[in-house]
Amino acid sequence: MKAPRVQLMATCLADAFFDDVARATVEVLEHLGCEVSFPEDQTCCSQPAFNSGDWPAARQVARHCLRVFNDAAPVVVPSGSCARMVSHGALVLFEGEPEVDRTQAAELAQRTWELGDFVVRGLGVVRWPGRLGMRLAFHRSCHSRGTAYAEGALTLLRSIDGVEVVEIGEGEQCCGFGGTFSVGFPQISRGMGTLKIDHVLATAPDALVSADSSCLMHISGLADRTGRPLRALHLAQVLRDALRAASPEVRA
């Protein structure tokens, strides 16, 4: 398949905290031959308001998202959580709303991809160049359930020379972030995060990898605060670093 022109939905977290994830995503996509555009008016996918139950506010944000990404090009998202909101949550959000909203939401859902899923299933790339020599634990985010997101990420990680992906205990368990859940139920959230960290550190990895920056922010932040620092990397950063190892002269 010829690599297409794509639109990057960078996500709120990449904008506010993880700008390197957005840059790494662009580097990965351009390596694959994609022409990457960045609609500058993009804001949020609407998930925070949706999960908090404020659906009128969520619809307002989601309608803006529909307007910004009304181009026919695929939308690639370095976040399973945000990709799932656009490809599934928005369809629920607009049930019973005007047909034009439902139609536009369904159309955007059909061409929205999580990054790893796009590389593997969208472009058919199952081997990644470079060599890293790293022992990696992988966190499956809750929003990847029922999708091929985790499988796509693991396919790419396991294909990199020198990378060992180790299984962690209770791999399907939530990290405890859950967006506004961690604000409303901080003690439960902290307990879930602590359990996740216990399982990750038991494998003695060089880093924890996920396709969701929100999970990584919660886990690594909690690990730091409890005196158990844990290196966290987004899938896009690992793929970018592997590319640079294959071609050391390549720098962002």
- State residue 250 phi and psi, 5-degree precision: -80, 120
In a domain, 251, yes or no: no
Domain boundary among 121, 140, 170: 121
The pLDDT value recorded for residue 145 is: 85
Q: Residue 163: which of 233, 100, 211 has the closest Cα?
A: 233
The pLDDT value recorded for residue 183 is: 86
Mark whether 168 and 183 lie in a shared domain: yes
Q: What is the DSSP letter of 86?
A: I
The pLDDT value recorded for residue 250 is: 52
The pLDDT value recorded for residue 247 is: 75
The pLDDT value recorded for residue 252 is: 43
Residues of the chain with pLDDT under 70: 1-3, 248-252
| Total-model pTM | 0.94
Residue 13 burial (10 A CB sphere; 0-12, 13-18, 19+):
buried
| DSSP H or E stretch at residue 193 | helix 186-201
How confident is the model over 98-134, as pLDDT tens digits? Answer: 999 999 999 999 999 999 999 999 999 999 999 999 9
For 239: left if phi > 0, alpha if psi spans -120 to 50, otherwise beta; the answer is: alpha
Domain boundary among 75, 93, 121: 121
Structure tokens at 145: 């359930």
Sheet holding 232-234, edge to edge: 161-166, 131-139, 207-210, 232-234
Diameter over CA atoms, the chain: 54
Mark whether 117 and 151 lie in a shared domain: no
Mark whether 140 and 215 lie in a shared domain: yes
The pLDDT value recorded for residue 1 is: 55
Half-sphere exposure of 239 (CA within 13 A, CB side): 32
CA dist., res. 208 & res. 218, Å (int)? 12
CA dist., res. 99 & res. 144, Å (int)? 28
Domain boundary among 98, 121, 144: 121
Q: Residue 78: which of 206, 172, 245, 210 has the closest Cα?
A: 210
CA dist., res. 228 & res. 220, Å (int)? 9
Mark whether 145 and 40 lie in a shared domain: no
Q: Is 57 within 8 Å of 49 (Cβ atoms)?
A: yes
Q: Which domain holds residue 45?
A: 5-121
How confident is the model over 175-203, as pLDDT tens digits? Answer: 999 888 888 899 999 999 999 999 999 99
Mark whether 170 and 237 lie in a shared domain: yes
Please tell me the total count of domains within the chain: 2
Planar angle of CA 18, 19, 20, nearest 5 degrees: 90
Mark whether 103 and 180 lie in a shared domain: no
